[in-house]
Amino acid sequence: MNRTSVITGIILIVIAIVLGAFGAHALKDKLSAAQLSSFEVGVRYQMYHGLALLSVGLAASQLKFSLKIFNRMIIIGTIAFCLSIYLLAMKDLMGVKLSFLGPVTPIGGVFLIISWIILLLKFIRSNPKQAV
């Protein structure tokens, strides 16, 4: 087990559940359909990556490599991607200009993609016969 992955995954899951409920109830009548849809994308991706961290963390004892880089990349990516989506979806409600966050979302997405590629490559290299 990788304690960092498990704890971080659980925290991301709990926050995703809270934000999902917040979006469905408190923001439902305050955001446009497009803004609410964007907010829900952030919640969904946060939940996916929280579950991924939890799963990988629980399986870590079966892996023959360190999860340190994967953990860092997926955490940075999830925070950048999801937080920027949440803030951009609520910018009108908050009455602030957050257009500078526009590039943060795809940068966070790139971190997420890279984290999964890192995990794949580490798995293939550590288990060459099993990965084929």
More confident site: 15 or 65: 15
45 is written with which tokens? 């991706």
Residue 131 has pLDDT above 60, yes or no: no
Residue 34 has pLDDT above 60, yes or no: yes
Residue 114 has pLDDT above 90, yes or no: yes
pTM above 0.75, yes or no: yes
Say how many C-beta atoms besides its own lie within 10 A of residue 34's C-beta: 9
Q: Write down the pLDDT at residue 129.
A: 67
Of the ranges 7-11, 62-66, 91-95, 108-112, which one carries the lowest mean pLDDT score? 62-66
2 phi and psi, to 5 degrees?
-110, 105
23 is written with which tokens? 């979006």
Q: Which of 19, 25, 26 is nearest to 41 (CA)?
A: 19
Q: Strand, helix or coil at 66?
A: coil
What distance lies between CA 121 and its chain's CA centroid? 20
CA atoms in the 13 A half-sphere facing the CB of 45: 25
Taking only the tens place, the pLDDT of each residue in 56-107 is: 999 999 888 899 999 999 999 999 999 999 999 999 999 999 989 999 999 9
Say how many C-beta atoms besides its own lie within 10 A of residue 121's C-beta: 12
- Mean pLDDT, the chain, as a whole number? 94
For the chain, what are the domain ranges? 3-126
Q: Write down the pLDDT at residue 63.
A: 86
Nearest-angstrom CA–CA distance, 64 and 59: 11
112 is written with which tokens? 């997420």
